[in-house]
Chain A
């Protein structure tokens, strides 16, 4: 089975712009979670989607949003980018039987905000 794929792998944006990141889960996985990884804050949970519904949300401002499509692919959007949004954004998918706690991560999208 192919793993979790994320596109693009690298992005450079400027402050004030918005960005959309894409994640394709492992085939058959219906739960998709997003995490932000920074050297200072580590890995922090953004949100989780299951069957196109957001089931859980972390402590991030409303500038961070996401959605999931009927084929389980997910996108996250960050509007009005700030310098502090520079990070590795990781997507993880979970198999339906094991629940959302068994998560398999993609390689991430490295976002740099200038």
Chain B
């Protein structure tokens, strides 16, 4: 019930192309869906996040698309650059008690942007 499934496991995209990473969830109580970017040797960095009352959110070259009925959300990276090469994690959270919540992460997608 708490799982978040992420695909693909790895992705190779040419510079300037669009990178698309997909996630699906089961728990309809999830109410916050962030994406994190992680470079080797670093902790995950919050990239962009969306709540279920919005179908799309865009920040620069990064866009989250959210489909509540399908229980799916995706990250689109437009004009992908070699500097975007990293591991991307989707996540979801639900408020458990009061304002407490925990993040449930997808398994990660290793993105490589080639020249």
Give A residues with C-beta under 8 Å from B: 4, 33, 35, 42-45, 48, 50, 55-56, 58, 90, 92, 99-108
Contacts and interface: CB of A to CB of B under 8 A. Distances in A.
Contacts of B46: 102-105
B49 A102 contact: yes
A90 B43 contact: yes
B103 A45 contact: yes
Interface in B66-115: 89, 91, 93, 95-108
B29 interface: no
Interface of B: 31-32, 34, 36, 41-46, 49, 89, 91, 93, 95-108
What is the predominant secondary structure among interface residues of chain A facing chain B?
strand
A93 B51 CA distance: 20
Contacts of B99: 50, 99-100
Contacts of B42: 107-108
A35 B102 CA distance: 10
A44 B2 CA distance: 12
A82 B42 CA distance: 24
Contacts of B41: 107
A58 to B, nearest CB: 7
Nearest to B100: A55
B102 to A, nearest CB: 5
Contact of A55 (B32, B93, B98): B98
Contact of A101 (B45, B103, B108): B103
Contacts of B32: 101-102
13 contacts: A33-B102, A33-B103, A35-B105, A42-B89, A42-B107, A44-B105, A45-B102, A58-B102, A92-B43, A99-B95, A101-B31, A101-B34, A105-B43
